[in-house]
Amino acid sequence: MRTESFDAVVIGGGPAGSTAAAGVAGGGFPTLILEKRDRIGFPVRCAEAIGPASVARRHIEIRRDFVSAAVDGLRIVAPDKTTYDKSMPGAGYIVDRELFDRRLADIAVEKGAELRTGHQATGLIRKDGRVAGVRVRDLARGEEYEALARVVVGADGVESLSPRWASLKGVCSPGEILSCAQELVEGIDVSGRFVEFHLGRRLAPGGYAWVFPKGPRSANVGLGINPLESGGMPAVAFLERFLGERCPGAVRRRLVVGGSTVAKRLRSLATDGYVAVGEAANQNNPLTGGGILESIAASQMAASVVRGALEKGDTSAKSLCRYTKEWDRIYGRTFDRFHRAAGLIYGLPDPVMNRLLENLGREKGLAGRTGIDPARILGVLLRTSPSLFLKTFRAAF
């Protein structure tokens, strides 16, 4: 079997993989990206929202060619249609995810990484007990080969196997992955540049529905549900009902179905010769399921640690675990809070959710320029229904 050697092999050409590859290759280390799909960023399985804008700009250069629309505020809609509006100029962007992903991959290639689309990782190679490369299948030619590496970066997203191969992660339970369905629709009345979140157990049990405007009359309209709480009804059936209620008669352009990981954070993100980044590493925000910016931020952090490890010639777990420590330090507690908040908020019975939204409307200073602090929402929930808050809070721990 053919064997090739690199300093780093990155599995997955999504935002996490391309960002990690750009960071490592930028240090002059030969880096290979393996992407099993033929086309980067396609098909799109995303509602395409990133934000806050200030955080986005810290991690990537925002270019007009991949921005579909700016987001200037937030609307939350309760089951009884009680609405909470918050203007937040600079809240974020709706991007064109295919162009966005392609731009990130281009940057990685400009930095020196080699990108191979249509090449699937089929397993990890181990030598002396440590990860030493990737077994690869060239899907077009039907050929197998080995890509040896001093470090393998697992950035294989929601369908990832590499963190399991590396023994960092078990199998996700169905409740840890929101089941999502979305239509890109045209001919819809949108709330200006506000993103809409629709809550309620009838509408989206264990999750929420969204309307993210991409233009004056077009939007990504979708939802994510917890499949364990949906009584066997699939996400597309919930979507059908939501579309009928929110935008009857709108023209449907593109159906998207997929999963979004909302699991607890991993205890460790690195082992000897391997790190996991992005959704593969449970780095989606567990409250929203969003993970584009989170993946990019984590991958930049991981790339910096990997570069240091390659420079020192020490890619052991001990050396790479600096990335776990750094990620835990900056994001760990926030992610834990988001995870607990999700368990509480999405579990609320619809009448309590209605009252919560009413009370939120009365709350001053709930949201700053960049978002809503879940701790403040939980504070309002505590006042709305102390007994339910305590019951669900206990259940969530």
Ligand X SMILES: Cc1cc2nc3c(=O)[nH]c(=O)nc-3n(C[C@H](O)[C@H](O)[C@H](O)COP(=O)(O)OP(=O)(O)OC[C@H]3O[C@@H](n4cnc5c(N)ncnc54)[C@H](O)[C@@H]3O)c2cc1C
Q: Cβ 312 to ligand X, closest distance in Å?
A: 27
Q: Cβ 349 to ligand X, closest distance in Å?
A: 26
Phi, psi of 141 (to 5 degrees): -90, -15
Rg (alpha carbons) of the chain, rounded to whole number: 21
Q: Cβ closer to ligand X: 13 or 286?
A: 13
Q: Cβ closer to ligand X: 81 or 254?
A: 254
The amino acid sitting at 382 is L
Q: Cβ closer to ligand X: 38 or 314?
A: 38
Q: Cβ closer to ligand X: 41 or 347?
A: 41
Which helix (H) or strand (E) segment holds residue 88: the answer is strand 83-95
Q: Could you tell me which of 370, 297, 295, 290 has the C-alpha nearest to residue 48?
A: 290
Q: Cβ closer to ligand X: 134 or 380?
A: 134
Q: Cβ 388 to ligand X, closest distance in Å?
A: 29
Instruction: List residues binding ligand X (CB under 6 A).
Output: 11-17, 34-37, 45-50, 120-121, 155-159, 180, 182, 222, 256, 258-260, 278-280, 284, 289-292, 295
Q: Is the Cβ–Cβ distance between 185 and 210 less than 8 Å?
A: no
Q: How far is Cα of residue 98 from the mean position of the Cα atoms in its chain?
A: 15
Q: Cβ 214 to ligand X, closest distance in Å?
A: 11
CA atoms of 41 and 43, how far apart (whole Å):
6
Q: Cβ closer to ligand X: 205 or 258?
A: 258
- Cis? peptide before 174, omega within 30° of 0: no
Q: Cβ 184 to ligand X, closest distance in Å?
A: 11
Q: Cβ 116 to ligand X, closest distance in Å?
A: 9
Phi, psi of 169 (to 5 degrees): -150, 145
Q: Cβ closer to ligand X: 7 or 279?
A: 279
Query: What DSSP state is assigned to residue 5?
Result: E
Phi, psi of 27 (to 5 degrees): -90, 5
Q: Could you tell me which of 302, 339, 297 has the C-alpha nearest to residue 51?
A: 297
Q: Cβ 340 to ligand X, closest distance in Å?
A: 20
Q: Is the Cβ–Cβ distance between 324 and 269 less than 8 Å?
A: yes
Return the residue matching tokens 């990737």. 134
CA atoms of 227 and 204, how far apart (whole Å):
10
Q: Cβ 143 to ligand X, closest distance in Å?
A: 15
Q: Cβ 241 to ligand X, closest distance in Å?
A: 17
Q: Cβ closer to ligand X: 107 or 381?
A: 107
CA atoms of 393 and 174, how far apart (whole Å):
22
Q: How many residues does the chain have?
A: 397
Query: What DSSP state is assigned to residue 227?
Result: G
Q: How does strand 130-138 pair with strand 143-154?
A: antiparallel
Q: Cβ closer to ligand X: 200 or 291?
A: 291
